[in-house]
Structure 1
Amino acid sequence: MERKGATAQIATGKPKFIALSESIIEKIKNGELQPGDQIPSENELIKTFNISNTTARKTLLEIESKGWARRIKGKGTYVLNRTEDHHLLRTLGSIYATRRGFHDSLIAEGFTPKNIVLEKTVLPDGISSEINGRHFIIDGPVLKLHQLRYADELLIKDEVKYISLTLCPKINKIPTEVSYFKVYENNYSLKINEVQQTFSVKILEPNTTNFDLSKPTPAFVLDSAVICTGDKVVEIEQSYYHGDKYKFAVISNPEHDYRSANPVIL
């Protein structure tokens, strides 16, 4: 038998795939599914709603044909960004989005990403940063990676990362558009225990930054540290986000002490 929720959707007299696709589109409209989120796969739809392969496939195709999602071969179907002016929506606290990475997140939302590497050098000495009242240090050698991140030819992030070459030897040989979070976990078997961040706003003046600005514009300033087992710092980031193109949401879990909360963004 179909689940109760599925039965209620199909009781309208509409074909199953239409009723189910409309239900998922409604979740996109009300924000339950955000741009870049993955829509349940064919197998998940089959298992959840006890439907056929054909109905599941037609459901996803219907959502895609109406412009609400995009299927990426070998990866899944993702919610497209249909926000006004294509604002980028990012949720503080989404480990899932962080693992996926900046580059793949843009593709999932329907943007064309581009990276321009301004600097990729090995620093023999260490780097340090103060975040949330704590001092974080990476001993040398350190990879410094400075790159500009574009979405549809618009510069949206000026990013500088410092990565431990002691914990991640030869990571400088890896392409820069990857999700470094996944590289730390998969390539170097590092267990990420904590992500510390501060998030502030700064007014950027025209002709003083890499952003092409015609007037003073707010930018979000991110300082972060990624800490793995043994309190070892694998990454420190210092980046600017184009303030006119970003909106942020926050995940709050009242069951956890605020000191253990680890909001993360892309």
Structure 2
Amino acid sequence: MEKKRATAPATPPKAKFIALSESIIEKIKTGELLPGDQIPSENELIKTFNISNTTARKTLLEIESKGWARRIKGKGTYVLNRTEDHHLLRTLGSIYATRRGFHDSLIAEGFTPRNIVLEKTILQDGISSEINGRHFIIEGPALKIHQLRYADELLIKDEVKYISLTLCPKINKIPTEVSYFKVYENNYHLKIDEVQQTLGVKILEPNTTNFDLSKPTPVFVLDSAVICTGDKVVEIEQSYYHGDKYKFAVIASPEHDYRPPSPITS
């Protein structure tokens, strides 16, 4: 009589929330979801995969417990910055990224932001800047805000913004850590048509800047202008970014760049 060959016991299927969490984590590892990006919400997971709210909640908790994301109450769950050197990735030409704001982006990535305002004054004569071969002008009065931006006590950005007080009266009374882009849209009902940006590199010497440098260090120099309907310039920015802590990406079609978190596939 022929003996039956022994077979290995079947591997039990993974729990649904484990499979979904692993799928989302894989998107983070491959860069499809970047630090600061929002992970699909419970409702989005329920709708996409026809799962219970308990399974959706366990999925997000599993991702968070493994250190890939953090939940911010009332806002959602965001991908954490897990790079060894904590490089910050910023996207040029992205209205979506600009709308989120510098302060909120740091919080979403797991950093503790801090701002030091060096100057907050009103320029009666306005300001102008040349960007991408175009001349942008904010007629006076314009609000000038010069502040230092910190992440976990490290100075990463020396920022100067100029904002039209004609388009945004009394904006000088609003705290400087807010996303001004959202303020333009929500408080002043401005429609942003485009964001013009240029990025250069400059070597800064020790003791010549607000950065605490022990040796000559490269910094990124960002010039940008935010333009609303009627070709009116609402904001001009001229800022330095710490070169050792930043990486920049470029998006090709800013007018189509807004993308809600893509549904995951199991």
TM-score by length of 2: 0.90
More displaced stretch, 67-76 vs 90-99: 90-99
Aligned to 1:37: 37
User: What is the identity, as a one-letter code, of the residue corresponding to 2:56?
Assistant: A
Deviation at 1:91, TM superposition (A): 1.9
Aligned to 2:101: 101
Cα distance change on mapping 1:42 and 1:261 into 2, 3 Å = closer
1:148-187 Cα offsets, whole Å, 9 max, x none, are 0000000000000000000000000000000000000110
Aligned to 1:137: 137
Aligned to 2:48: 48
Q: Tell me the SS of whatever aligns to 2:135.
A: strand
Q: Does 1:250 align with 2:246?
A: no
Aligned to 1:91: 91
Aligned length: 247
Aligned to 1:8: none
- The runs of at least 4 consecutive aligned structure 1 residues that moved more than 6 Å come to none
Deviation at 1:98, TM superposition (A): 1.2
Structure number with larger C-alpha Rg: 2
- Where does the alignment leave 5 or more consecutive residues of structure 2 unmatched? 1-10, 258-266
Aligned to 1:27: 27
User: What is the identity, as a one-letter code, of the residue corresponding to 1:97?
Assistant: A
Higher fraction of helix: 1
1:93-145 Cα offsets, whole Å, 9 max, x none, are 33222111000000000000000000001111111111111111111111000
CA distance in structure 1 between the partners assigned to 2:73 and 2:232 by the alignment: 37
CA distance in structure 2 between the partners assigned to 1:136 and 1:26 by the alignment: 43
1:15-38 Cα offsets, whole Å, 9 max, x none, are 000010000000000100000000
CA distance in structure 2 between the partners assigned to 1:15 and 1:95 by the alignment: 38
Deviation at 1:252, TM superposition (A): 2.6
Aligned to 2:148: 148
Q: Does 1:210 align with 2:210?
A: yes
TM-score by length of 1: 0.90
Deviation at 1:92, TM superposition (A): 2.1
Q: Does 1:124 align with 2:120?
A: no
CA distance in structure 1 between the partners assigned to 2:126 and 2:60 by the alignment: 49
Q: Tell me the SS of whatever aligns to 1:140.
A: coil
User: What is the identity, as a one-letter code, of the residue corresponding to 1:70?
Assistant: R
Q: Tell me the SS of whatever aligns to 2:44.
A: helix
Aligned 8 A contact 2:95 2:194 in 1: no
Q: Does 1:226 align with 2:226?
A: yes
Aligned 8 A contact 2:95 2:195 in 1: no
**What is the alpha-carbon root mean square deviation over aligned residues?**
1.6
CA distance in structure 1 between the partners assigned to 2:47 and 2:146 by the alignment: 45
Aligned to 2:77: 77
Higher relative contact order at CA 8 Å, sep ≥6: structure 1 or structure 2? 2
Cα distance change on mapping 1:261 and 1:33 into 2, 3 Å = closer
CA distance in structure 2 between the partners assigned to 1:24 and 1:206 by the alignment: 43
CA distance in structure 2 between the partners assigned to 1:100 and 1:166 by the alignment: 24
CA distance in structure 2 between the partners assigned to 1:63 and 1:261 by the alignment: 29
CA distance in structure 2 between the partners assigned to 1:152 and 1:140 by the alignment: 36
Deviation at 1:261, TM superposition (A): 9.2
